[in-house]
Structure 1
Amino acid sequence: MTGWRARLGLIVPSSNTAAEIEFDEYAPEGVSIHTARMPLESVTVGALDAMSDRALECAELLAHADVDAIAYVCTTGSLLHGPGFDAELEKELASAADCPAVATALSVDRALEALGVERIAVRTPYIEELNDREREYFEAAGYEVVSIEGRGIEKNVAIGALAPEDAYRQVRGSVAADTHADAVFVSCTNYRTFPAIGPLEDDLGLAVVTSNGATLWDACRAAGVTSEGPGRLFESG
C-alpha cells in the first residue's frame, strides 16, 4: 500500500529533476512521495520570486492527496528574503494544506542546529548574486560562513544534470583549507548529493549537510516518521 506510514508532499520548481529521485530513493519504508510543481527555468532572484506566487496553490492541490506533511523544496526560494520569510512560508503552506509544512532553508537551519554547528563552508551551483543572498541568510541566522563558492550556473536543468560525483569534487577540491568550519553545507535541491555525503564526511572529518538531506530529515520529523539517510544528520535522530 502506498504511503502506509506517511505521505510526503513536495513542492518543487518545475525544472527540478533531482529532488524526487533522491526523496524516492531515501524515503523510509512505507513513506510515499507526491509532488506539485511551480514554474521555474532559471535560478535568478526575479524568477525565484515569481515562482513562489504558486506555492499556496501547490499546497492546496497536495492536500487532495491527504499528505501528512509538505516540504517546500527549494533552498534559495525559501531564503531569498532572509530569516522570517521561511517561517512565514511554512505557516502559510501548513494552513493551505492543513498539515505540517517545512521549507528547505529552515530545514537546513534546524539540521545545523541539531548537529551543533556554528561555522559552515557553503558550496553551491549558483550564480554570485544568489551566493550573496545565501551568505546573508546564514549570517543573519547566527552562523559564521567561513567560505562560500558556487559554480555560476543559472539554468536549473544544467544544475540537475550534475552528478553526485560533481558535488564530491566541488567540495573535496576546495574545502580542505577551511579548517575553521564545523560542517559543509551543499546547497540546492536540484543538486544530487546523497551518494557523496558519506565519502565526504569520511574524507573531511566534517559533518556534511545538503539541501535534500536536510529537507527529507525535517519533513519526516514533521510527519512523525523516523528518517533514514546517509551521514551524521540522519544518525543524530
Structure 2
Amino acid sequence: MPDVQGWRAKFGVLGPSTNTIVQPDFDAMRPMGVTNHYSRIFTPNANAVSNESSRAGTEVIAGNVLDAVRSVMTCKPDYLVMGMSAVTFFDGAKGADAFVKKVEDEAGVKISVGSHACAAALNAYGGVKRIAFLSPYWPVINAEVKRYFGDMGFETVRETCLQCKSWTAIAEVTEDTLRGVLRELDGDDVDAIVQVGTNLSMVRLAAAAEMWLGKPVVAINTATYWHALRANGIKDQMQGFGRLLSDF
C-alpha cells in the first residue's frame, strides 16, 4: 500500500545539519503526493577562513554522509535527494559518479545529486556551451566545480566565489549581493549562469533573473529537485521557479 501522504514518492533528503535553505526550498517545490524527509548530516559550523579550512570542513561533511543515509532509510524512502553540493563536484565527473555509487550501494535506492542535476538542467535548456557560475565557496572548491563542468563539456568563462566565513553565513547572503554578482557574471560570451552551494538562497531570484538576463539561470536546489522529480516520472510543471520547472 502507498504512503497516504507520499503516495507518488517519498524522498529522503540529505543535507548538512548547518543548512537552513534546502528544506524550505524543496518543500516549496513539492507537488501533491510527494513528501520530503530530511536527514541531517552532522556538520560542525566550522569557520571557513582559508582554502585549507574550507576543504577540510567539506571533507568532514562527506565523511558523515552515510550515517545520514542509514538514518533516513528507516522511513523507507523511494529515492534520495542530495541537498549538499560541494562534495558532488570533487574529482570531476568520475568523482561525482563514485559518490553516487557509494550512496546508492548503501541505500539500495537511487539518488539525485547537485553536480549531475546541474549538467542535466543545462542540457535540457539546449545550446549551452559557455557558462559562468557563482558559489559561496573558496577558490579551492570553485576549482573542483570548474573541473566537473569541463568534464561534462561546458566551458567556464567566469566564476565568483563569495568566500563565506562559516557554513551558516552562507544562508545570510542577501539578494542584493547576489543580484550584483549575477550582473557581473553575465555577458554576451556566456550562454547560461549556474549557482552552486545549496545553503545559498537563490531559487526565486534565479527564476526572476532568467527574465531580465534573457538566458538560463540555474539554481542548484531547483535543478536537484527537478532532477529527482523527473527521475521518478513526476512531470508536474510549476510556475515561480524558472523555466526548468515550468517548461521541462
TM-score by length of structure 2 reads 0.88
Structure 2 Cα separation of the partners of residues 105 and 154 of structure 1: 23
The answer to whether residue 188 in structure 2 is matched with residue 179 in structure 1 is yes
Q: Whole-Å Cα distance in 2 between the matches of residues 24 and 70 of structure 1?
A: 14
1:24-35 matched pairs, under 5 angstroms: 24-35=27-38
- Aligned AA for 2:114? T
Work out whether residues 16 and 42 of structure 2, in 8 Å CA contact, stay in contact via their aligned partners in 1: yes
Which structure 2 residue ranges, 5 or more long, are not aligned?
49-53
Give TM-score scaled by structure 1 length.
Answer: 0.91
Give the deviation of 1:165 after TM superposition: 4.7
Distance 1:87 1:17 in 2: 26
Deviation at 1:83, TM superposition (A): 1.2
One-letter code aligned to 1:149: T
Residues 91 and 147 of structure 2 are in contact (CA less than 8 Å); yes or no, is this contact kept in structure 1? no
2:80 is aligned to: 70
**% of aligned pairs identical?**
26
Write the deviation string for residues 29-73 of structure 1: whole angstroms up to 9, x where unpaired.
221111111133246111212221222222222221111110122
Q: 2:202 aligns with which of 193, 199, 223?
A: 193
- 1:16-95 equivalences under 5 Å are 16-40=19-43, 41-42=45-46, 44-95=54-105
Say yes or no: does 1:8 pair with 2:11. yes
**Structure 1 residue 82 displacement after superposition:** 1.6
**Is 1:131 matched with 2:142?**
yes
Task: Give the paired residue count.
Answer: 235
Bigger drift between 51-60 and 105-114 goes to 51-60
- Structure 1 runs of 4+ off > 4 angstroms? none
Instruction: Name the CA shift for 1:92/1:222 in 2 (closer, same or farther; >3 Å).
Output: farther
Unpaired runs of 5+ residues, structure 1, are none
Deviation at 1:232, TM superposition (A): 1.9
